Amino acid sequence: MCGRFTNELTWAQLHALYKLADELFPVKSNLQPRFNIAPTQDVDFVHLDKAGNMELDRGRWWLVPFYAKELPKNAMFNARIEGVDTSGAFREGFKSRRCLIPADGYFEWTKSEIDGKKDPWLLQMPGGAPFSFAGIWAHNDNLGVTSCTIITAPAVPEISDIHDRMPIILPPEAYRTWLNTEIQGKEAKALLLDAQIDSQLEFHRVSREVNSSRYEGTDTKKPLINSL
């Protein structure tokens, strides 16, 4: 699963990660670091424009299907890979509107055997390197809302003790292949599972202050030394 994530990428890192065209993005963006991004908040995401260039966009992290007449009340911040190509809410995005969502860490929770409370863990690539979640996006003309969601899959063994599901993280060499909508159905789903690099993730406990979606302190990634 993915219920919260961080994105402290600088414009230079974002530009390098997606090889954004200088003629399309000539001015450096003043990106603000995000330490505890929660569902329904706006996030950056990347998709291909009509000319096939990487395009940086922004939208609500909680998919609002193109046909919706109101904001969905059911959870739409994650899309399970098992049904992403058949679900009414997700299949159009999977077919024609795929995206990448930049991040440099995400949080999962386990239940403490000592006090029964939730213990947050930060999962990230070695050295805190930037990465991309595989996702889909939508634009709803009725509500004037652009949105996106992260695709999840059963967890790889390396992180299954923390959670039984994981957001799919793709390596840079798979970015354009995932965004290429000529690849469809089982082939596209196989690509996600075969290319994902979640087995490389490292993780450590962080403060329970992260449990609150309102907490936006700069220390959300700091390892918890004296844990329960």
Q: Which residues are catalytic?
A: 2, 108
Contact 209, 217 (CB under 8 A): yes
Q: How many CB atoms neighbour CB 40 within 10 A?
A: 12
Residue with tokens 């890979």: 81
Separation CA 88–CA 228 (nearest Å): 43
Nearest Cα to 181, choosing from 49, 66, 80?
49
Separation CA 218–CA 4 (nearest Å): 15
Element (H, E) at 140: strand 131-140
CA distances from 144 to 55, 66, 197 (A): 19, 10, 35
Contact 150, 167 (CB under 8 A): yes
Cross-strand partners of 92: none
Separation CA 174–CA 117 (nearest Å): 38
CA distances from 99 to 31, 133, 138, 212 (A): 19, 8, 10, 28
